């Protein structure tokens, strides 16, 4: 087995069980290794720190499979890791009975580059690293054994694969292709899952509990849902008894899916729902000019800052959207604001929203701090895993 030898002092993060070894930490590769091969990670003093997947084209030169020097990386390893990850979800009371669950959440479940989401009897697998790609067959076998899922479909089409020197891979891995009319029930609402062409693996499971909170807050309120995508927040607001829900997205295809989701739920009052295809920033400015106001506003934009290098530009966009949000709130209204940008930390995000409230001349209080659902755990040694953050503010 080849050895990845670290520069002096660079073993500290690995010893603290951080799963990434960056290129700048590496002194040399002793031996030969292809992309995705398992290598030993060794300190400059010759201490073996664990075993990792090698990725020569990525700035993340290796991703740790194990911090144990003697654990073999083989089919049995993936069988154990996957079974343990699935068992944790099965034991969590908040996930009991859910049709859609993330069963593997990458590094935080000890499986870097592996994402697996179950939607009823269909599993959608996404492999984003060279190591995960190398062990595809073992991962599929482990998922089949641990879940009994009839169908596994691969959606390894994320742009981050390019950083690993990998091209997109999409297709059936087991069973049949996903049902075009696949839907899951979430807190009493049916929501469609486009596993073949939708965002991510077809749905945003990470917002599950935050959508339920929207339902709890919506009764009797006028609601504005921005960047609504396929309408998950909108439908939960209707289910919670919102007086009206205006949903805005720039994608006509997403709005068509949202309308289809509303049709799946005849118990909801469709007359209270309005769908608007528009640029959200422009639409909000127009609503302000028209004098519109809302009691509950949801801002769930796409990723403005994929990395810290984009934070400054992204901060301006987040400030702009939240400023408009505060200005459209009725007195006593609630603003639910989210960021899925890894480059925007919790402290910066709160500062941005505070500045927006100040510029809007609104006194506001944080009443909830939100994050991803419990099937999206965050490894204590891997703070980079905390990408989704949300603040719910009450504005006087």
How far is residue 134 from each of residues 157, 159, 283, measured CA to CA in Å?
A: 16, 18, 46
Half-sphere exposure of 248 (CA within 13 A, CB side): 19
Q: Specify whether the CB–CB gap between 192 and 119 falls below 8 A.
A: no
Catalytic residue among 149, 226, 228, 340: 340
Beta strands in 136-205 (DSSP E): 151-156, 169-174, 183-186, 189-192
Q: Measuring CA to CA, how many Å separate 117 from each of 2, 67, 98, 255? A: 33, 26, 12, 23
Query: Which residues is 364 bridged to in the sheet?
Result: 395
Residue 223's DSSP bridge partners are 245, 296
* CA 107 to mean position of chain CA atoms: 13
Total residues found in the chain within this entry: 396
**CA triple 276-299-95, angle to 5 deg:** 105
**CB neighbour list of residue 247: distance below 8 Å, 6 or more residues apart:** 225, 228, 231, 234, 255, 258, 273, 274, 275, 276
Q: Which residues contact 312 (CB under 8 A, 6 or more apart)?
A: none
Look up 149 and say whether it is catalytic. Answer: no
Name the residues annotated as catalytic: 340
């Amino acid at each position: 087995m080849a050895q990845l030898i670290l520069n002096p002092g660079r073993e500290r993060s690995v010893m603290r069980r951080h799963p990434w070894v960056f290129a700048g930490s590496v002194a040399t590769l002793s031996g030969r290794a292809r992309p995705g091969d398992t290598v030993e990670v060794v300190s400059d003093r010759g201490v073996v720190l664990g075993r990792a997947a090698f990725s020569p084209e990525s700035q993340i030169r290796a991703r740790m499979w194990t911090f144990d020097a003697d654990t073999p990386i083989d089919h049995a390893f993936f069988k154990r890791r996957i079974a343990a990850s699935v068992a944790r979800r099965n034991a969590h009371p908040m996930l009991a009975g859910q049709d859609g669950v993330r069963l593997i959440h990458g590094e935080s479940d000890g499986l870097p580059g592996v994402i697996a989401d179950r939607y009823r009897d269909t599993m959608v697998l996404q492999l984003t690293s060279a190591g995960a790609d190398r062990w595809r067959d073992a991962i599929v076998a482990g998922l089949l054994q641990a879940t009994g899922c009839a169908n596994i479909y691969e959606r390894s089409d994320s742009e981050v694969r390019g950083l690993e020197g990998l091209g997109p891979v999409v297709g059936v891995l087991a069973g049949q292709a996903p049902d075009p009319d696949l839907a899951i029930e979430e807190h009493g609402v049916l929501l469609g899952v486009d596993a073949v062409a939708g965002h991510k693996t077809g749905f945003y499971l990470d917002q599950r509990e935050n959508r339920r909170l929207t339902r709890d807050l919506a009764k009797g309120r006028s609601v504005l849902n921005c960047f609504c995508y396929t309408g998950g927040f909108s439908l939960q607001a209707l289910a919670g008894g919102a007086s009206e829900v205006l949903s805005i997205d720039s994608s006509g295809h997403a709005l068509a899916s949202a309308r289809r989701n509303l049709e799946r739920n005849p118990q909801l009052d469709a007359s209270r729902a309005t769908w608007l295809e528009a640029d959200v920033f422009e639409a909000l400015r127009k609503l302000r000019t028209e004098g519109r106001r809302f009691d509950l506003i949801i801002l769930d934009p796409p990723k403005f800052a994929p990395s810290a290098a984009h934070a400054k530009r992204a901060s301006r966009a987040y400030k702009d959207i939240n400023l408009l949000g505060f200005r459209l709130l009725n007195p006593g209204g609630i603003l639910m604001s989210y960021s899925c940008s890894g480059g925007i930390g919790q402290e910066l995000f709160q500062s941005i929203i505070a500045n927006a409230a100040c510029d809007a001349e609104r006194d506001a209080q944080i009443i909830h701090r939100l994050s991803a659902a419990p099937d999206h755990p965050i490894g204590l040694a891997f703070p980079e895993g905390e990408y989704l953050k949300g603040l719910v503010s009450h504005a006087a």
